[in-house]
Amino acid sequence: MSYIRNILNSRFKRNGNFFMELTKILGFKPKHIKFYKKAFTHRSMNIKDSEGNAINYERLEFLGDAMLSAVIALHLYQEVPSGDEGYLTKMRSKVVSREHLNELGKDLNLIKLVESKIPPGQFGDNIHGNLFEALVGAIFLDKGYKYCEKFIYKRVIIPYVDIETLEGKVISYKSLLIEWCQKEKKTFKYYVYEDTGNDEVRHFSVKLSIDDRVVAKARATSKKKAEEKASKRAFFAFQNRISKLI
């Protein structure tokens, strides 16, 4: 009996801690804790419901992404009456960029609530943004649109959405550079190759050429990161000519 009691007490303690931590993050008491449990369950747990459906945060992530986009879109629509469709779309993309969502997830330290068989140190950066989106999705299912909107205003819009700052923010230097090259009819090419350095982690190097002239070099742990890093360096080299596209 004492063994069973210990198990039950341990489970109660975990659930109690989860509820308290969650309430601090949300700013209100959750009604249906099951949605939030799911929002912090990683697929590595390999849990399924009675009908064989996977129980993890991925579907909630999809729902949260849609809610974030809707609330941010409405805010921008109301705040910038002179903005056309292209402007509003670009501004919304800056708010809900993967980089920004990852920052939000890190600020709230959401990863401490995750149930996973993978050690926290082995997750990539995107886990933070994924959890933030899943949390937004859980709020919507638990409390409805108004609570969801209130949370997004509190955690995203009020502290981070400043129109003037967003107008000067670059989401992807590579996309911006390619857009500029195409507009100016310049040829460009990324030469990516695996680095043969002595690092324990594999690195990739990249040379970026514009009009057959190497304008930037970079090195990173993935091809995508190396290209973005080189693009950022090239952007600052041509900043006066490219900045009007931001």
195 is catalytic: no
Q: Return the closest-CA partner of residue 167 out of 227, 69, 83, 65.
A: 83
Please give the single-letter amino acid code of residue 180: W
Between CA 4 and CA 180 the distance in angstroms is 66
> Among residues 61, 65, 142, 228, which one is catalytic?
65
> Among residues 133, 142, 149, 228, which one is catalytic?
133
The phi, psi pair for 51, rounded to 5°, reads -100, 5
The set of long-range contacts for 29-37, using a CB threshold of 8 Å and a minimum separation of 24, is 30/142, 30/143, 31/142, 31/143, 32/141, 32/142, 35/60, 35/138, 35/141, 35/142, 36/135, 36/138, 36/142, 37/115
133 is catalytic: yes
The phi, psi pair for 48, rounded to 5°, reads -130, 155
Catalytic residues: 65, 133
